[in-house]
Amino acid sequence: MKKAFLISAITMMTLSSLSIYAAKNWKHNCPGGGTVYFTTSDDTTRKQAAAMGKAWCDNRNTSVD
């Protein structure tokens, strides 16, 4: 009984981790030149990724004093 429980627990953990780590790779070309590459979860929409890429481009040359 303990062995069957252990096997089923490991199987469930493996299957759930596969869905958690599913990801999409994105590329955004910045208006001033350069490219930003980033990874998000697989449920990110194209519009959300475009907004993240734009924000990354806007903030990458900003320095904090």
Flag whether the pTM goes above 0.75. no
C-alpha 8, offset from chain centre: 28
So what's the pLDDT on residue 51? Answer: 92
| DSSP 8-state code for residue 60 | T
15 contacts 9 by C-beta, under 8 angstroms: no
pLDDT along the chain (65 residues), means of 10: 61 55 84 86 89 85 55
40 contacts 24 by C-beta, under 8 angstroms: yes
Residue-range domain boundaries for the chain: 23-58
Return d(Cα 34, Cα 8) in angstroms, integer: 48
